[in-house]
A and B are shown apart, each in its own frame.
Chain A
Amino acid sequence: MNNRTTLLFADRETIALMRYKSKLVNNMDLSNAVVLTGWGTKNLSDIDYRENDNSIRFYNSEDIFNIGTLIISEPYRYCILESNILPFLENNKKTIEKIFCYWDSQSKTIETFCKKYKIEFYNNENEKVIIENKNKNLYQLRVPIVYISSISEMSDKFLCQMEMFNYFKEKGYNVQLVGTKSYSKLLGIKSFPSFMIENYFSNTEKIIAFNHYLKYIEDIDNPDLIIIGIPGGINGFINEVPGYFDDLQYLVSRATKPDITIICGLYNEVQEAEKLSSIIENKYGWRLDGVFINNMLFDLQLSKIYDKKEYVKINNEVVQQKIIEANQNKITSFYSYENLNKLYESIEDKLISYGNENLI
Chain B
Amino acid sequence: MNDSPFIHLFNVADEYFLYDVNKNNILQIDFLLFKYFVNKNSKEMDKSIYSSIERLKKRGYLSCNKIEKIEHPMSKIIQSYLTSKLQSICLQVTQDCNLRCEYCVYSGNYLNRSHDKKIMSLETAQNAIDFLIQNSSESDRVCIGFYGGEPLLNFDVIKDTVLYALEKYPGKNYYFTLTTNGTVFNENYLSFLEEHKFSITISIDGDQKIHDMNRKFKDSDKGSFYTIMKNIERIKESYPNLAKRMMFSVVLSVSSDFMGCNEFFTNTNILKETELSVSTVSNRYKDGEHNVQKENNIISQRYELFKCILILIGKLDESCCSKMVKNYYYKLREHYKQFYITENGVKPISHPSGPCIPGAFRLFVNVDGNFFPCEKVSEISSVSKIGDLKNGFFYQNINTILNIGKLGDDMCKECWAYRYCKVCVASVDNLTNLSIEKKKDCCKRIKKEVEMMMKEYCFVSKYNAIEEGN
Contact = CB atoms under 8 A, between A and B. Distances in A.
A312 B138 contact: yes
A313 B85 CA distance: 8
A183 B169 CA distance: 28
Given A84-B170, A313-B84, A40 B135 contact: yes
Contact of B84 (A40, A77, A79): A40
Residue among A37, A46, A84 having the largest count of chain B Cβ atoms under 10 Å: A37
Contact of B170 (A37, A299, A311, A315): A37
A200 interface: no
B22 interface: no
Given A40-B135, A313-B84, A35 B79 contact: no
A52 to B, nearest CB: 15
B80 A313 contact: yes
A37 B28 CA distance: 57
Contacts of A78: 140-141, 171-173
Nearest to B129: A38
B133 interface: yes
B87 A297 contact: no
A40 to B, nearest CB: 3
Nearest to B361: A302
A46 B171 CA distance: 15
Interface string B61-86: 00000000000000011011100110
A293 to B, nearest CB: 13
Contacts of A306: 141
A317 to B, nearest CB: 10
Contacts of A121: none
Interface string A14-39: 00000000000000000000011111
A318 B170 contact: no
Contacts of B238: none
Interface string B127-155: 00000011111111100000000000000
A83 B174 CA distance: 15
A113 interface: no
A38 B85 contact: no
Residue among A39, A59, A77, A302 having the largest count of chain B Cβ atoms under 10 Å: A39
Contacts of A36: 170-171
A269 interface: no
A310 interface: yes
A133 B288 CA distance: 84
A299 B81 CA distance: 10
B315 interface: no
B168 interface: yes
A124 interface: no
B133 A40 contact: yes
Interface string A233-257: 0000000000000000000000000
Contacts of B173: 78
Given A78-B140, A310-B138, A318-B77, A83 B84 contact: no
Interface in B156-193: 168-173
Residue among B76, B135, B140 having the largest count of chain A Cβ atoms under 10 Å: B140
A297 B77 contact: yes
B168 to A, nearest CB: 6
B80 A318 contact: yes
Contacts of B140: 77-78
Contact of B137 (A41, A83, A318): A41
Nearest to B79: A315
A40 B85 CA distance: 11
Residue among A59, A297, A312, A321 having the largest count of chain B Cβ atoms under 10 Å: A312
A79 B171 contact: yes
Nearest to B135: A40
Contact of A59 (B84, B87, B133, B170): B170
Size range of the chain B interface in the assembly: 20 to 34
Nearest to B140: A78
Interface string A252-278: 000000000000000100000000000
A313 B87 contact: no
A314 interface: yes
A267 B226 CA distance: 56
A312 B80 CA distance: 8
Contact of A38 (B84, B135, B138, B169): B169
Contacts of B79: 315
Residue among B79, B168, B171 having the largest count of chain A Cβ atoms under 10 Å: B171
B287 to A, nearest CB: 35
Contacts of A314: 77, 80
Interface string A310-349: 1111110010010000000000000000000000000000
B419 to A, nearest CB: 14
A59 B169 CA distance: 10
A191 B133 CA distance: 35
Nearest to A76: B140
A313 B137 contact: yes
B166 to A, nearest CB: 9
B87 A302 contact: yes
Contacts of B138: 310-313
A41 B133 CA distance: 10
Residue among A37, A38, A299, A314 having the largest count of chain B Cβ atoms under 10 Å: A38
Nearest to B168: A37
A40 B169 CA distance: 9
B76 A318 contact: yes
Nearest to B81: A312
Interface in B34-86: 76-77, 79-81, 84-85
Contact of A315 (B80, B85, B172): B80
A299 B172 CA distance: 19
A258 B441 CA distance: 61
A267 B77 CA distance: 10
Contacts of A35: 171
Contacts of A84: 170
A38 B171 contact: yes
Nearest to A35: B171
A78 B133 CA distance: 13
Residue among B77, B85, B87 having the largest count of chain A Cβ atoms under 10 Å: B77
A39 B77 contact: no
B352 to A, nearest CB: 15
A299 B137 contact: no
A312 B85 contact: yes
A265 to B, nearest CB: 16
Contact of A37 (B85, B87, B171): B171
B171 to A, nearest CB: 3
A321 to B, nearest CB: 8
Contact of A40 (B134, B168, B170): B134
Given A302-B87, A312-B85, A313-B84, A38 B134 contact: no
Contacts of B170: 36-38, 59, 83-84
Nearest to B76: A318
Nearest to A295: B80
Instruction: Identify the 4 closest CB pairs spanning chains A and B, nearest first.
Output: A40-B137, A36-B171, A38-B171, A38-B169
Interface of A: 35-41, 46, 59, 77-79, 83-84, 267, 297, 299, 302, 306, 310-315, 318, 321
Interface of B: 76-77, 79-81, 84-85, 87, 133-141, 168-173
14 contacts: A35-B171, A36-B170, A38-B168, A59-B170, A77-B140, A79-B171, A297-B80, A302-B85, A310-B139, A312-B77, A314-B80, A315-B79, A318-B80, A321-B76
Given A40-B133, A310-B85, A312-B138, 15 more contacts: A37-B169, A38-B170, A38-B172, A39-B172, A40-B84, A40-B135, A41-B137, A78-B171, A78-B173, A79-B171, A83-B170, A267-B77, A312-B80, A315-B77, A318-B80
